[in-house]
Amino acid sequence: MEKRGSRRANGGVPDGKQPTKTDYSRWRLLDERGRQTWHYLRTDDEVKKWPQSVADKYFLGLPTGLPDLKTSTTPLQAVNNGLSFYSKLQLPPGNWGCEYGGPMFLLPGLVITWYVTETPVPESHSIEIKNYLFTRQHEDGGWGLHVEAHSSVFGTALNYTCLRLLGAHAEDPRMVKARGKLHEMGGAVYGPHWSKFWLAVLGVFPWSIVNPTPPELWLLPDWLPIAPWRWWIHMRQVFLPMSFVYSKRWSYPPTALTMELRNELFVEPYEAIDFASHRNSISPLDNFHPKTWILNLINWIFVHLWIPYLLTKSLQQKAEAWTWKLIQMEDANTDYSNLGPVNGPMNLLACYIQEGPGAYSVRRHRERMEDFLWVKSEGMLMNGTNGVQNWDTAFTIHAVIECGLAEDPRWKPMLVKALEYLESQQTLENCKDHEVCYRHPTKGAWGFSNKDQGYSVSDCTAEAVKAILLLQKIPSYPNLVSERRIKDAIDMLLTMQNDTGGCSSYEPRRGSELLEYLNAAEVFGRIMVEYDYPECTTACISALNVFRKQYPDYRAKDIETFIQRAVSWIRSDQRADGSWYGAWAICFTYAGMFALQALRSMGETYANSERVRRACQFFLDRQMDDGGWGESYKSCEDGVYTQHEKSQVVQTAWVCIALMEADYPEVEPIQKAVKLIMSRQLSNGEWPQEAIEGVFNKSCMISYPNYKFIFTIKALGMFARKHGDMVLQ
């Protein structure tokens, strides 16, 4: 296995001296109770002792060797063919893995952190990160916020820098083209706040170009409406280490390479740039959420009054000490895996600054960075979290149950393993000092990825406990999760409702939507506080309904009140055209599927509900000529349904599920869509990857590759059970 000390990020490795491709037959995915890390085997003996799995080969784009199957002519035959393939991707602990890529601003933060902390980078990583970035480079030479977005200063400046740090030569034609695109957009001074922060850390920018992120805000009384503990969890956990580093004004000492970058990233000589005048400069291509005049005024006060004249050294030290304490608590409560791949590298940097390169915190952070990396046919990318293990595993169980195949001997072993996995991932206690570090209770919860990361998520808990309840109700399945633990999960879910009746993601909303006036990220919307989401709200309704059928006496009044208020919010969130806006996948097709499931739970169907009829008509009006549905990511950005140029099997499956949840009476449009799904299935049972599926914060898309198995299988199975397993050719 390759040693981590084989290469250093600082200084890079000239491309002419480094191979341009690794041997993909030597990559292995290790899954340790849901912790997924990729390893490159150096010796033939290692390769012999650790054979490559079907899943490894699939993820890497290598031939899997799985056989062609008998062509399916009915939905259930297509389901079984799909499960035949998808079951081979189940990993040893019982979960499913996949890339969770899409954002193009994650790798640069990690590589810059590696460089400035002088972290050894394996040659295999360096090679494949460069391969991925070059593969994802646009025709115009740039990179965008995500893989399908237009080129922007954020994406281009940071990914150009990332490639240079890993050894790409400035005169490589691809780099020349990227530099030209960056200069066309005005140069790196027109990047958003996050890019300016990272380039200041690297020593390419002076800190005068970075708008303030003062740690003193963490000293504000908790009762204040703008106190950071009220912000959305991802925003505050990024602001936390960012404010610590900003207060230190820490930059890596100049090197020959960073001095070269000072000449490459700008359209005018470095010495001639008035960096302070560019604090608010941003390209229109990046400015998705323009800063408000209120935020600009606050920044002016910080820069011109607070920092130079009013901030005392003792207060600054007190703020730094408290933010450092909160960083330590985040690290301890997640075993250094952290909430995500933005605050993870930032916390590593904070530990390096505070405790030095030899500290345990630095060593452990370096190890944990591997949890975010993923290898595929295009190279090595950085996932949007440390995986989607819990989420996809729960959804897979639901899909098979909906197909009526939970007791099929072909798939029961797969489901037992999945149940065993979910059992192992429930958080059994609240994290240490959770109230002090502003964490929502975690006892009874499931997170999005695994138990190590450990953050409560409303819909992840709901989908997991629902899957467990449904499986354990079947007599032939083991009862692995006790009644007490199931009730702990329900207790946690009941804490997740907002005053509106809707549900958020990680915790109930703590602050006003007016905090968006302080949104400094510029590239994201709806980032400052939690919001009500039809997806999360429906998941909680569904889980509580399943639970109370099995435990009718437990907190019956609380559950009934929760469900009634939640469904009322779902009704109120529907737009006049019959649609719901989705926050976590693209977009109206996704949210509509959940909302119609919630309404069905209250007996509302096409036959008796005008709002359900409006929702169905919204979908039917947008069915494409081939029978499918295809929705562009622009729907998320603009808030208006935008047709994709081609139908997508995932969104087609979502709409099929939605129409069947609504009891739409005419089978023909659903049948036409089911035929499309079946026609896209390959001879070995898989569905090929199409357009990106997911989104967060309105503007950044992210991939959910297993959705093309999970929801297609569910839709086909539901159709067969509802309308018969008819021949469709």
pLDDT tens-digit profile of 427-447? 999 999 999 999 999 999 999
pLDDT tens-digit profile of 341-359? 999 999 999 999 999 999 9
Six-digit token pair at 48? 């012999």
Whole-number pLDDT of residue 266: 98
Burial of 314: CB neighbours in 10 Å, binned 0-12, 13-18, 19+:
exposed
What gap in Å lies between CA 542 and CA 27, rounded to an integer? 40
- What spatial distance separates the first Cα and last Cα of the chain, rounded to whole Å? 49
Contacts of residue 694, Cβ cutoff 8 Å, sequence gap at least 6: 102, 584, 585, 586, 701, 702, 703, 704
What gap in Å lies between CA 610 and CA 592, rounded to an integer? 15
| Continuous segment of H or E residues that includes residue 76 | helix 75-86
Which segments in the chain show pLDDT lower than 50?
A: 3-15
Whole-number pLDDT of residue 4: 41
Whole-number pLDDT of residue 658: 98
Q: DSSP secondary structure string, 208-276?
A: GGSPP--GGGGGS-TTSTT-GGGS-HHHHHHHHHHHHHHHHT--PPP-HHHHHHHHHS-SS-GGG--GG
The domains located in the chain, with CATH, are: 106-382 (1.50.10.20)
Residue at 485: amino acid letter: R
CA atoms within 13 A on the CB side of 531: 19
What gap in Å lies between CA 352 and CA 711, rounded to an integer? 44
Whole-number pLDDT of residue 17: 67
Q: DSSP secondary structure string, 664-691?
A: -S--HHHHHHHHHHHHT--TTS-----S
Catalytic center residues: 459
What gap in Å lies between CA 244 and CA 312, rounded to an integer? 16
What gap in Å lies between CA 602 and CA 662, rounded to an integer? 11
Six-digit token pair at 413? 């072993």
Whole-number pLDDT of residue 8: 41
Residue at 64: amino acid letter: T
Six-digit token pair at 617? 């008509």
Contacts of residue 535, Cβ cutoff 8 Å, sequence gap at least 6: 459, 582, 583, 584, 585, 590, 591, 594
pTM above 0.75, yes or no: yes
Chain-centroid distance, C-alpha 645: 25
